[in-house]
Amino acid sequence: MSTVLLLKLFLVPALIAVVTFAGRRWGPAVAGWLSAFPIVAGPILWFIALEQGAEFAAVAAVGTLVGVLAILVYGICYAWAATRFGWPASLTLAYVAYAFAAAAVGAVPLALSVSTLAVLAALFFAPRAYPRREAGKPPAKPANDLLLRMALGAALVLAVTHFADSLGPSLSGVLAMFPVMNTVLALFTHRSAGAGAAIQLLRGMAYGLYAFATFCIVLAWTLPRTGTGAAFLWALAVAAVVHALSRLLLQRQLRRAVSLPR
């Protein structure tokens, strides 16, 4: 069994397990923030770089960066749908919105500078676009669905990466940002803890995406200049710092939510 296949089968399910336990310990907003670190798209871009070369991977990284816009559309659509519908309809509407958004951002490759400005602006305004709803009390006994979450995550990764290989660097990069974690975590959180918890989780992801965007920006800029290994080390290091800083933004948002009059 190849290393790539092992990562597809075990890396994302392991992260889903970690995020699930974090959500049970610290709440859905923290789980969403934690899940946004580039542990899914990062390995995909790494193997693209090894197999297709640094220049190809740099273009794919820009595609993954603009894929953040489609992910935000997915999360906002799911959150608003969850205020009225259960998880099946919410997920369907979110996927439809994601498909249109991904097709739009993947149709015309954008320069790194333009993509950076667009994504940073979207991340700044996105948290304001989610509906405000408090999470309900967590279930007295957490749902025994962890293995199902992990299996679904692995299946989604296998499906996405299978079809992404032949689509070219830009669209492959966009699909590397397919909402695998978003789908599994939002679906099971919505089903077990209610719409409010799912909305908090998705809003938390928006704050975590600052680090993801930083990873893609640094990677796209350094790949043609420093080589694959150094580029990924720089991208991960800078993204880790930004992820820690974005935690402060999330904490401020959570304090503001608690202080709002009820």
Is residue 127 within 8 A of residue 253, CB to CB? The reply is: yes
Query: CA 218, CA 21: separation in Å to the nearest integer?
Result: 30
Q: By C-alpha distance, which of 29, 123, 121 is closest to 71?
A: 123
Q: Is 199 helix (H, G, I), strand (E, B) or coil?
A: helix
User: Which pair of structure tokens corresponds to residue 155?
Assistant: 């299946």
In tens digits, the chain (262 residues) has pLDDT values of 566 677 767 777 787 788 778 777 777 777 777 777 787 778 778 877 877 788 888 888 898 899 899 999 999 999 999 999 999 999 999 999 999 998 888 777 778 999 999 999 999 999 889 997 655 555 545 556 677 777 776 776 677 667 656 666 666 677 777 887 788 888 888 988 888 888 988 988 888 889 899 999 999 999 988 888 899 999 999 998 988 887 777 676 656 654 555 4
**Domain extents in the chain:** 3-18+40-134+143-259
Find the helix or strand (DSSP H, E) in which 258 lies: helix 228-259
Burial class (CB in 10 A: 0-12, 13-18, 19+), 24: middle
Query: CA 95, CA 103: separation in Å to the nearest integer?
Result: 12
